[in-house]
A and B are shown apart, each in its own frame.
Chain A
């Protein structure tokens, strides 16, 4: 189990324990974490699963490919598409912030 903390826009937190073989987006949607849509269901086209990664964690995540980069145009710094982050044991303790809206 990998423990992930989502910081919600209203100041509250949601901590979930996640099995491997999933993605951060799936973990959020399956646990009803509000604010993450995942409209395309993890195909890296819709950009509605954005999260902002805590500074201490950003460089420890797998790299950003060209497609993800082009979908994150104008996004806040340290933003990632959560569907592109595979859950692995070394992400235990990861904290990400969820925006109020994926559509702003």
Chain B
């Protein structure tokens, strides 16, 4: 069974000239770097708000809003938009939990965040610092003498995933299995795969919850089981939603950013040299890379009619929140196609407003530790452009591999973008 369904007719309130193709839908693949041209072409050729018939996973329509200012206004607007049910996972398996806190509106959302924010503040994450660094160093030690690696498999996957599995108290030995589920959830177009993966992840957490009720630990599942909102505990569905949210948010997004960041460094040897000579610039470089390569898209559903950029959006309409578009909007950023280390941009990679990514301090810390460690431990590396690499588009834009030539081989083969 394929996930693509028959196209629906264009609704009456959608002007025909606003129906456009959106190239970044789930299921599309590119062999190029989509941040070189594709993302900028959307800004060049499409109106500020347009309607794509297949923008929502499953082949149903959604509005695409490409301007930074409009996206930021929607992130801040819970009068006209809801986050409820933006992800199809629970619905696909006939259940009704939502991702916690991503799919909750205020005021419940604010209660969730009051509970969860303290877990992910810089102060709370400090005790993870040594662990994060030692995971990074351990992975680099495994491949430092290789002539060439797939950086995605060698580092970008195992590094953040080990840390999140540890936080959840899940066994590291099952990483490959979990990653296969994760890949089916976020990059697979096959409905049966999506259902199977959702059931597997939910089943895993229900088992873990059962076990942790009896033997609580220091992990986040145990935390959620004991947590209170006012005078009540979280329901089982809320704990499942919280775990599922961490699973889809914590395993794939840092991996994706690492892939793009090290592909970029492998192509920009001058930047590599600058950062090696002055590691204090690494956080600014990462901030600009997060803008340049913003990978994630989410959705909002309209609950009250609103006009955006002269376009009427009606209750029930889905709106795509594509961070890659907002972060590369030429009306917001001077020459967004240029990487500028001193830009220090306010981008949308982590969203904005009350749903601004819960884990972004952890993500930033992981990205900084990764770049610090690798630039310290490895000599100059290059991106191997002789290898064809496919990139999956959709909710998370991720290359399937990052072929890097390490010092031993870097001299013999040229590298260019």
Assess the A67–B121 pair: CB atoms within 8 A.
yes
A74 to B347, CA, bound (A): 24
Assess the A103–B283 pair: CB atoms within 8 A.
yes
Most buried by A among B280, B352, B358: B352
Assess the B353–A43 pair: CB atoms within 8 A.
yes
A104 to B372, CA, bound (A): 13
Assess the B350–A46 pair: CB atoms within 8 A.
yes
Assess the A45–B346 pair: CB atoms within 8 A.
no
Assess the B283–A104 pair: CB atoms within 8 A.
yes
What's the least CB distance linking B364 to chain A, in Å?
8
Set B280, B283, B356: member contacting A39, Cβ < 8 A: B356
Set B344, B354, B360: member contacting A101, Cβ < 8 A: B344
> Would A71 and B284 be within 8 Å (CB), given that A41-B353, A46-B360 are in contact?
no
Interface status of B214 (Cβ within 8 A of chain A):
no
Set A37, A67, A70, A104: member contacting B280, Cβ < 8 A: A104
Set A39, A74, A102: member contacting B350, Cβ < 8 A: A39
Interface stretch of the complex, out of B19-27, B122-130, B231-239:
B122-130
A7-23 vs B, CB cutoff 8 Å, 1 = contact: the mask equals 00000000000000000
What's the least CB distance linking B120 to chain A, in Å?
9
A73 to B127, CA, bound (A): 12
Residues of B within 8 Å of A104, CB to CB, are 280, 283-284
Q: How many residues of A contact B (CB 8 A)?
A: 23
What's the least CB distance linking B283 to chain A, in Å?
4
Residues of B within 8 Å of A103, CB to CB, are 283-284, 286-287, 344, 364
Interface status of A64 (Cβ within 8 A of chain B):
no
Residues of A within 8 Å of B72, CB to CB, are 41
Interface status of A47 (Cβ within 8 A of chain B):
yes
Interface status of B75 (Cβ within 8 A of chain A):
yes
> Would A45 and B356 be within 8 Å (CB), given that A37-B344, A101-B344, A103-B287 are in contact?
yes
Most buried by B among A38, A48, A72: A48
Interface status of B43 (Cβ within 8 A of chain A):
no
What's the least CB distance linking B396 to chain A, in Å?
20
B87-123 vs A, CB cutoff 8 Å, 1 = contact: the mask equals 0000000000000000000000000010001100111
Assess the A101–B283 pair: CB atoms within 8 A.
yes
Set B123, B344, B356: member contacting A41, Cβ < 8 A: B356
A69 to B123, CA, bound (A): 9
A56 to B72, CA, bound (A): 36
A63 to B213, CA, bound (A): 39
Interface status of B229 (Cβ within 8 A of chain A):
no
Interface status of B204 (Cβ within 8 A of chain A):
no
Residues of B within 8 Å of A48, CB to CB, are 346
What's the least CB distance linking A33 to chain B, in Å?
12
Interface status of B76 (Cβ within 8 A of chain A):
yes
Residues of A within 8 Å of B122, CB to CB, are 47, 70-74
- Number of inter-chain CB pairs below 8 Å: 67
B254-286 vs A, CB cutoff 8 Å, 1 = contact: the mask equals 000000000000000000000000001001101
Interface status of A1 (Cβ within 8 A of chain B):
no
What's the least CB distance linking A63 to chain B, in Å?
17
A87-104 vs B, CB cutoff 8 Å, 1 = contact: the mask equals 000000000000001111
Q: Which residues in chain A, 60-85, are within 8 Å of chain B measured between CB atoms? A: 66-67, 69-74
A10 to B380, CA, bound (A): 33
A43 to B78, CA, bound (A): 14
A103 to B123, CA, bound (A): 15
What's the least CB distance linking B111 to chain A, in Å?
14
What's the least CB distance linking A64 to chain B, in Å?
13
Interface status of A54 (Cβ within 8 A of chain B):
no
Assess the A70–B76 pair: CB atoms within 8 A.
no
| A47, closest chain B residue (CB) | B122
Assess the A73–B353 pair: CB atoms within 8 A.
no
Residues of B within 8 Å of A102, CB to CB, are 344
A11 to B283, CA, bound (A): 22
Residues of B within 8 Å of A45, CB to CB, are 113, 117, 356, 358, 360
Residues of A within 8 Å of B76, CB to CB, are 41
A49 to B113, CA, bound (A): 19
In addition to A46-B360, A70-B118, 10 A-B residue pairs with Cβ atoms within 8 Å of each other are A39-B346, A41-B353, A43-B353, A45-B358, A47-B361, A70-B123, A73-B121, A101-B287, A101-B344, A103-B287
13 residue pairs of the A-B complex, CB under 8 angstroms, read: A39-B346, A41-B356, A43-B354, A45-B356, A46-B350, A47-B122, A67-B117, A67-B121, A70-B118, A73-B126, A101-B284, A101-B287, A104-B283
User: Interface residues, chain A, CB within 8 Å of chain B?
Assistant: 35, 37-41, 43, 45-48, 66-67, 69-74, 101-104
User: Interface residues, chain B, CB within 8 Å of chain A?
Assistant: 72, 75-76, 113, 117-118, 121-124, 126, 280, 283-284, 286-287, 344-347, 350, 352-354, 356, 358, 360-361, 364
